[in-house]
């Protein structure tokens, strides 16, 4: 890969062909028998056709959906008029669900309702992985559109295994074996009343996660820092940590590693939170955007 440099000879970014490897080395993609997959690109994101989420999902169908999720990292379903309880049941196939400590709930406790537009704007327009300030961040999430704006409000996901694959070798060496501190204090914590903050702080102290995690299913090395919650890299001076994080954030969201979804009513999206960052575009105000999300409990990154 070539490099763009400034007049001092310092590296700005890479250009030219990128490594676009979706599967672990040596693994071939097997066909899907129970639905059709329509990929959005070579790496990440595929639309699933031929599945009706109002019907119970049996073990065989679930096994194929789970394989597709790990392989494509984000699955898109359209025209799925399900309710919150069906939403919860679908997410529950992947495991126990999270009850989010900060966010308001919808009709069922594990399903969070996000309603934005007329009097408030979404604040998820920073690239992030959900709840990485927890010891065990979510495995994945299931997000469903209730009311979509007439334009805008797309969500983007980026593939963090591809982000790792494409880092320059010297940067891969610099982050090898390093950990970073993740903290809710500078996002959810801002503007919290001091007593409530102290309580949350006790329950959720800053946590350290590896800068490069190993995906528990594929074994792939996956970059695991995000602009929202990663505060600093442990063991580096602040300025060096900031400089390195800024480089990693920028590299992790090249358009080649992204999928962008235009919501329609009753669309449902499942993503692998262990392998992606996402970004909710805040360009629909004052139109209303109502979504519901269930987050699946995950494991400790290693
Ligand atoms: Fe999010």
Q: Per the domain annotation, does 13 fall within a domain?
A: no
Q: Per the domain annotation, does 85 fall within a domain?
A: yes
Strand 74-77, strand 46-49: pairing: parallel
Q: Per the domain annotation, does 182 fall within a domain?
A: yes
CA of 294 to the centre of ligand 1 (A): 11
Here the tokens at position 287 are: 């139109």
**Total count of domains within the chain:** 1
- Of 88, 100, 128, 134, the catalytic one is 128
Q: Is the pLDDT of residue 133 over 70?
A: yes
- Of 130, 165, 183, 272, the catalytic one is 130
Q: Per the domain annotation, does 14 fall within a domain?
A: no
pTM of the predicted protein model? 0.94
CA of 158 to the centre of ligand 1 (A): 12
For 179, the domain range is: 33-296
- Residue-wise pLDDT for 145-186, tens only, equals 999 999 999 999 999 999 999 999 999 999 999 999 999 998
278 classed as catalytic: yes
Strand order in the sheet with 140-147: 36-39, 46-49, 74-77, 268-272, 140-147, 289-296, 111-116
293 classed as catalytic: yes
Q: Per the domain annotation, does 93 fall within a domain?
A: yes
Percentage of the chain surpassing pLDDT 70?
95
Strand order in the sheet with 155-159: 258-261, 155-159, 276-280
Q: Per the domain annotation, does 25 fall within a domain?
A: no
CA of 217 to the centre of ligand 1 (A): 22
CATH number of the domain bearing residue 156: 3.60.130.10
79 classed as catalytic: no
Q: Per the domain annotation, does 27 fall within a domain?
A: no
Q: Per the domain annotation, does 2 fall within a domain?
A: no
Q: 212-224 burial by CB neighbour count: b if 16+ within 10 A, else e?
A: bbebebbebbbbb
CA of 29 to the centre of ligand 1 (A): 28
CA of 126 to the centre of ligand 1 (A): 9
CA distances from 216 to 205, 213, 278, 280 (A): 24, 9, 20, 26
- Residue-wise pLDDT for 24-66, tens only, equals 888 888 999 999 999 999 999 999 999 999 999 999 999 999 9
């Amino acid at each position: 890969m070539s490099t763009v440099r400034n007049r001092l000879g310092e590296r700005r970014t890479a250009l030219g062909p990128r490594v676009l490897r979706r599967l672990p080395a040596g693994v071939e993609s097997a066909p899907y028998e129970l639905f059709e997959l329509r990929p959005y690109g070579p790496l990440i994101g595929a639309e699933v056709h031929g599945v009706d989420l109002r019907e119970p999902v049996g073990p065989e169908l679930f096994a194929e959906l789970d394989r597709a999720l790990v392989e494509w990292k984000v699955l898109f379903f359209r025209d799925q008029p399900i309710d919150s309880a069906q939403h919860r049941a679908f997410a529950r196939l992947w495991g126990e669900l999270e009850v989010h400590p900060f966010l308001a709930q919808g009709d069922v406790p594990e399903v969070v309702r996000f309603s934005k537009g007329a009097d408030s704007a979404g604040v998820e327009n920073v690239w992030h992985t959900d709840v990485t300030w927890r010891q065990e961040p979510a495995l994945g999430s299931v997000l469903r559109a209730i009311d979509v704006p007439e334009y805008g409000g797309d969500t983007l996901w980026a593939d963090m295994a591809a982000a790792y694959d494409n880092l320059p070798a010297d940067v891969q060496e610099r982050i090898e074996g390093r950990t970073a501190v993740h903290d809710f204090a500078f996002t959810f914590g801002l503007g919290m009343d001091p007593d409530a903050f102290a309580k949350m702080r006790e329950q959720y102290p800053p946590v350290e996660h590896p800068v490069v995690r190993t995906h528990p299913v594929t074994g792939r090395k996956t970059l695991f820092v995000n602009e929202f919650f990663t505060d600093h890299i442990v063991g580096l001076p602040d300025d060096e940590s900031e400089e390195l994080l800024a480089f990693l954030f920028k590299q992790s969201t090249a358009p080649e590693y992204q999928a962008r979804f235009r919501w329609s009513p009753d669309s449902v999206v499942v993503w692998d939170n262990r392998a992606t960052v996402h970004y909710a575009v805040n360009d629909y105000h004052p139109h209303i955007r109502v979504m519901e999300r269930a987050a699946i409990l995950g494991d400790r990154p290693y």
